[in-house]
Structure 1
Amino acid sequence: MELSRRTFLATAAGTSAAAGLSALGLGAGTAAAASGPGDVVGKVTVGYQGWFACPGDGAPINTWWHYSANGSQPPSPSNTTIVAWPDVRDFTRTYQTGYAPLGNGQPAKVFSSYDQQTVDTHFLWMQQNNIDTAALQRFNPVGGEGPTRDAMATKVRSAAESHGRKFYIMYDVSDWTNMQSEIKADWTNKMKAYTGSSAYARQNGKPVVCIWGFGFNDNQRPFSAAACLDVVNWFKGQGVYLIGGVPTWWRTGDRDSRPDFINVYRAFHMISPWMVGRIGNVSDADNFYNVATLPDLADCNAHGIDYQPCVLPGAVSLRQRAHGDFMWRQFYNHIRAGVKGVYISMFDEFNEGNQIAKTAESQAWLPTNSGMLALDEDGTACSSDYYLRLTGDGGRMLKGQIGLTATRPTRPVVAGAGGTAR
């Protein structure tokens, strides 16, 4: 997502909430989702940015979109917005950057999300790893990025249909001045048409839409509770199943949340609290199990709301991943709490470094002057597709296809498979 999502908010200290929840009959493992299985409940959803472009790829934006600080110049060590390097071996079309060659001597090239083959490859990876649903991020479409974002929706629909995956529109309201009227017009005039696709996600028989950003205590989303509730009720009136991408502390109404938004949050069909920047290691994940996951889930159950917490692979650049143990601990904690669906933050977020898409596995696959870290930064070799495979195994545990286990079953490297390990 946008830079505004990266603000670090300190994890709240707190003693275990398990005892209090047990007294209410809402202890770990006893929760039941308000809804039965659909395309989000009971499923693994990934956030899909689809926001990388390169001059020459045909995109209307015609710039190094989300690759360069100065988009008129190719990304380089002094002109970059990415902090992790993509593995581009599966793409048929790539674009030369200003970085030095990779450690193995190959040219330092990147992909464009605008190429249909890129999107098809991403959705093929989802299919291969049993990732069910993609939430296509849609920021303010009224400005200069709008035509490119419009085209990306068409490309995602095609890829989802071709690879048997589901997708839905996820509006991010950051920096959207006229959001209250324009989001309704955008849905009515453009995005609603995508619900006719066989691949468009449905829950409880309704097309799924997510709105991310209501109630955050910052200046990029200053909308009043009344304005936000109007939008929520309007979308519900359109017959959609509405997910709220809400602040971490939505339930308590403090820290990253505005205090007067509880009625907005509880108007959503599903709540999905944001977690990037809030936890960074296994200990943090265990703390949040007590201070957030268990009480959040109990509150949602009490109000008939579905709950979709985030699972983070961790930022490569911050050495958070612990060769998959950090991510697996979150899967384990959510599933033992009784969570019925998860949101992976994110699929292709190379700007924050918390992507699960194929990533440079060692210095051999990084530009020699990049200063970036590879997946083996902690000394454990990991294939470039490791976090796709780990997500697939987490999904199997979510769905009861393997038993609940705190021990990560995914091997960081599959012998002999190289960068395309299956």
Structure 2
Amino acid sequence: MLPARFGGAALADGPADDEPWLKPYDGPSRADVDATTLDGKVLCGYQGWFNTPCDGSGFGFVHWGEGLERPGGGRFTVDMWPDVSEYAAEDLCEVPGLKMPDGSPARLYSGYSKGPTLVHTRWMREYGIGGVFLSRFIGEAASPDRARHVNRVLANVREGCHREGRVWAMMLDLSAGPRATTKMVMDDWKFLCDRVKVREDSRYLHHQGKPVVLLWGLGFTDRPWSVEQAKELVAFFKDDPNYGGVHLIGGVDAHWRTLRGASRKDPAWVEVYRSFDAVSPWDAGRYHDDASMDRTRRDVWEGDVAELHAAGKGYMPTAFPGFSWDNLQRKAPGTTVIPRRGGEFYWRQFAIFRDLGVRTVFVGMFDEVDEGTAIYKLADQLPVGRHFLGAEGLPRDWYLRLTGAASRMIRGETPLSWTIPEN
């Protein structure tokens, strides 16, 4: 979950005024998924942070790699290759000098273009996935270099959720480095309320009558937010007379309850963590096999469920299909991999959550090939001469199928199963 690299650009006073796509959506819409509750939903984190030189944004291959505009040059920062066979030709961009095994040019898509996002939300409908938490990095939203991109992605996601009857909500990611301020966060939410009118959007997710916001990144040891800043943000989102009244989910470290691991150790964080309406611990990479997953259940999840249930608060744990960031971290091939094991690793997390009575699950992430956690359609035939993980010979839609089946199990439409269902 790393933001785009956009250098030392000055912060913008506010997003540009020439973005007509941010007006309230008034196009085709359907309401297949109930937008009034978090209950019974599996929701995917959605990045949409990719660019290509062909998308009209003025950027290069952002988040795909660095220096890829030079034929045969640069390096990739993703570990998996998307299956692009269902995207329109005009939404794809050739990577100079890179070929597929059949000799055809290797092509990539952009989140700035609407077409790929509409394909993604169509897949969500076809496979029974409820919708997305749209990741919006505060530093990017405040940057003149990137605000236009993240606003365009928002408009694309919103339209896709309307067209396909999915739900969407904001995941405000506070990973913005030492220059981040509470004012940046609050100003962006004000913009989303005043300009985009997210709270009035019929496909925007609500719970108990309140618009849902996932505030991600407070209390981590590698992020600079103080207890005082955290309390200020929580008070704003919950109590501000004009912009408060949200159902606030804290995206926190897996050890929020015990102040261990990557959580800050100051006891003052105890009050912050328990001031959220719900908690969504970040578990991606915290376990790597069945044994470590079982330890996490015993030492973390069971206690989380017990405390939050007793307090009448919500719980949205994270499921991830596997992990790898060899290219991003400049590591030797295979050194950072948490194997997917054909989906068994992923499925077992859902089975445990169902066994614990969990009713809402966050999937990290729908489209993050950077860290090898993507669940959308992935290619098994890979570009020649570069290192990527394949799809283990499985169908390209395998993890979409599993996520849809897991959604039905979490809702109680199918019984708890410790093995991947045959159909």
Place the TM-score, normalised by the shorter chain, in its bin. 0.7 to 0.9
The residue number in structure 1 matching 2:26 is none
Find the residue that maps to 1:328 and give its secondary structure. Answer: helix
> Does structure 1 residue 391 correspond to structure 2 residue 403?
yes
Kindly indicate whether the alpha-carbon contact (under 8 Å) linking 1:48 and 1:135 is maintained by their aligned counterparts in 2. Answer: yes
> Does structure 1 residue 162 correspond to structure 2 residue 163?
yes
> Does structure 1 residue 254 correspond to structure 2 residue 268?
no
- State the TM-score, normalizing by the size of structure 1: 0.83
> Does structure 1 residue 373 correspond to structure 2 residue 370?
no
After the TM superposition, list the runs of 4 or more consecutive aligned residues in structure 1 that deviate by more than 3 angstroms. 36-39, 74-78
Equivalent residues in 2 for 1:232-271, closer than 5 Å: 232-237=234-239, 238-260=244-266, 261-271=269-279
Counterparts of 2:345 and 2:128, CA distance in 1: 20
Deviations 1:95-126 (A, max 9, x none): 10135321233321111111111110000011
- State the TM-score, normalizing by the size of structure 2: 0.83
Find the residue that maps to 2:416 and give its secondary structure. Answer: coil
- Unaligned stretches of 5+ residues in structure 2: 5-33, 325-333
- Counterpart of 2:117 (choices 95, 116, 119) is 119
- Counterpart of 2:357 (choices 328, 338, 342) is 338
Mark the CA change 1:76 to 1:351 in structure 2 (over 3 Å): closer, same or farther.
farther
Kindly indicate whether the alpha-carbon contact (under 8 Å) linking 1:68 and 1:75 is maintained by their aligned counterparts in 2. Answer: no
- Unaligned stretches of 5+ residues in structure 1: 5-35, 412-422
> Does structure 1 residue 196 correspond to structure 2 residue 215?
no
Mark the CA change 1:340 to 1:77 in structure 2 (over 3 Å): closer, same or farther.
farther
Kindly indicate whether the alpha-carbon contact (under 8 Å) linking 1:200 and 1:207 is maintained by their aligned counterparts in 2. Answer: yes
Q: CA deviation at 1:319?
A: 5.1
The residue number in structure 1 matching 2:80 is 84
Q: CA deviation at 1:37?
A: 9.7
Residue type of the partner of 1:100?
L
Counterparts of 2:264 and 2:358, CA distance in 1: 25
Counterparts of 2:182 and 2:70, CA distance in 1: 36
Counterparts of 1:201 and 1:231, CA distance in 2: 20
Counterparts of 1:239 and 1:263, CA distance in 2: 19
Identity across matched positions, percent: 34
The residue number in structure 2 matching 1:69 is 66
Mark the CA change 1:127 to 1:99 in structure 2 (over 3 Å): closer, same or farther.
farther
Counterparts of 1:323 and 1:306, CA distance in 2: 31
Calculate the aligned-residue CA RMSD, in Å: 2.0
Find the residue that maps to 1:100 and give its secondary structure. Answer: strand
The residue number in structure 2 matching 1:225 is 227
> Does structure 1 residue 289 correspond to structure 2 residue 297?
yes
Kindly indicate whether the alpha-carbon contact (under 8 Å) linking 1:114 and 1:152 is maintained by their aligned counterparts in 2. Answer: yes
Kindly indicate whether the alpha-carbon contact (under 8 Å) linking 1:310 and 1:345 is maintained by their aligned counterparts in 2. Answer: yes
Find the residue that maps to 1:44 and give its secondary structure. Answer: strand
Residue type of the partner of 2:60?
T
Counterparts of 1:374 and 1:251, CA distance in 2: 37
- Counterpart of 1:187 (choices 177, 186, 189) is 189
The residue number in structure 2 matching 1:2 is 2
Counterparts of 1:123 and 1:47, CA distance in 2: 12
Kindly indicate whether the alpha-carbon contact (under 8 Å) linking 1:389 and 1:410 is maintained by their aligned counterparts in 2. Answer: no
Deviations 1:118-161 (A, max 9, x none): 11000001111111120110102111211111111111111111
Find the residue that maps to 1:359 and give its secondary structure. Answer: coil
Deviations 1:148-177 (A, max 9, x none): 111111111111111100101111101252
Aligned pairs, number: 369
Counterparts of 1:45 and 1:319, CA distance in 2: 22
